[in-house]
Chains A and B, each alone.
Chain A
Amino acid sequence: MNLLHFINAFFSDSAHWHGYDGIPTRVGEHIEYTLEALALAAAIGLPVGLITGHTGRGGNALSLIATAGRALPTFGLLVLMTLLLGFGLVNVMIPLVILAVPPILVTTYEAMRSVDPSPVDAARGMGMSEAGVLFQVELPAALPLILSGLRSGAIQIVSTATIAAYVSLGGLGRYIVDGLYQRNYEKVVGGATLVAGLALVTLAVFWALTRFAVSAGVRRSG
């Protein structure tokens, strides 16, 4: 009950609801970082994954890149970048993008590889161009899995953007890091609740996106 008490205290304090350090500002910052990093990671991961998946080449190289990307500790990279390059948004974006590219890249590749080859062959046999095959046949069929890759990338960014507060950036991690230093447990718990909530919202958004974007035929067979 202790925890609930802290959560309640945090959210019922009206001072937490406006101003520079207010909940709306921090949530906005957090979403901004997440969207930027996700867009960058998708801009790298999606085209490469689609093309390698379409041609079926480079699978081994991709899994190597994914392992390397995973082995690099994101938090360590974050601190290192800030120490070496100074304070700034770019230095935070680099580790976040490195974090999110492997899941997007590998899932996209696997999704493209797992598309049933017979409709692809049929499309080609009907004289569809390679780009047509890629975008009108393979992409719709692979979409559920591609979205699940984007989802795990997004979730990872949401949780890791929290740590960006340690290198003096905004976002919801501010509450947790500041609260820990100020021994203000109420603030810490409030921040943690907000991040967890935001992660769950991300799950829900992707669930809705899958319902909306995936064609009914694919959903039924999948």
Chain B
Amino acid sequence: MNGFFDIPSDLQHSWLGLVGLHLREALLPVLAGLVVSLPLAQLCVRFRWLYPPVLWVTTVLYAIPSLAFFVLLIDYTGQTELTVMIPLTVYSLVVLVPAIVDGVRSVPQETLAAATAMGFGPVRRYLQVQLPIAVPAIIAGLRVATVSSISLVSVGTLIGNQGALGNLLNDANIYNRPELAVNAVLSMAALAILADGLLVGLRLLLTPWMPRRTRTKPKAGRPDPAVLALEDAAR
């Protein structure tokens, strides 16, 4: 009974159950982050002066360590999943907002003018022209946010076993079963790589007009801003 997938009963989940829990705790915040950052980014594009302060606030919030953030929230939301998911949502903003802003801004002026000339209103222009063109940048942001979210959920084990697969780490410690920790690390890495791959697939699906496989590098001047904003965020 000490096999790789034999999960101690105190966790009250099978391995698959833990995987499901982990995905929920990791992906819902990214989704929530996307829902928040889409309008926020649009505001930043519309009112340029808003962008620097928004960037500044998200960076400062991002600097708050996850464990500290969890602990400060316990007072309000208790030792629950929500306590883990709120900080993850906040962290995802630091990646997603710049990614979306840069993506939407990268839409050429002629394209916008053409859409307007064709009689597109602002809403329709946003949904049917700007967003689709920004998809690669948005997906690039989602990839980093998702991968780091999957990794960060495990810290939740420190606030009363709210870490899904991360709880295995605690059990590995208290029951002295290192194979559980191996299981946790490999499972989380596999989930992260899988999610990353699925997002790449989603991008190919959503942007059939993009050339496949070749990543065009910006020649000079500004680097790909999305890439850099993203590097800021992997934690």
Which residues of A are in contact with B by a Cβ distance under 8 Å? 2-3, 59-60, 66-68, 70-77, 79-80, 83-84, 99, 102-103, 106-107, 110-111, 113-118, 145, 148-149, 151-152, 155-156, 158-160, 162-163, 166, 173, 176-177, 180, 185, 188-189, 191-193, 195-196, 199-200, 202-203
Contact = CB atoms under 8 A, between A and B. Distances in A.
Given A71-B147, A192-B72, A195-B68, A103 B173 contact: no
Given A67-B147, A79-B169, A83-B172, A180 B64 contact: no
In the complex, which range does the number of interface residues on chain B fall in? 35 or more
B67 interface: yes
Q: Which of A73, A110, A173 has the most CB of B within 10 A?
A: A73
B154 A76 contact: yes
B82 interface: no
Nearest to A112: B223
Interface in B135-155: 144, 147-148, 150-151, 154-155
Contacts of B233: 152
8 contacts: A80-B169, A80-B172, A83-B178, A110-B224, A111-B223, A180-B71, A185-B75, A199-B64
A202 B166 contact: no
A interface secondary structure, majority: helix
Interface string B176-204: 10100110110011001100100000000
A188 to B, nearest CB: 5
A152 B231 contact: yes
B232 A195 contact: no
Contacts of A185: 75
Given A117-B220, A173-B67, 17 more contacts: A3-B75, A70-B151, A70-B192, A71-B192, A72-B189, A80-B169, A80-B185, A83-B181, A106-B231, A110-B223, A114-B218, A117-B219, A148-B228, A162-B65, A193-B68, A196-B63, A203-B63
B68 A76 contact: no
B72 A84 contact: no
Contact of B63 (A102, A155, A191): A155
A136 B151 CA distance: 39
B66 interface: yes
B45 interface: no
A107 B185 contact: no
A74 B169 CA distance: 12
Given A83-B172, A177-B158, A73 B65 contact: no
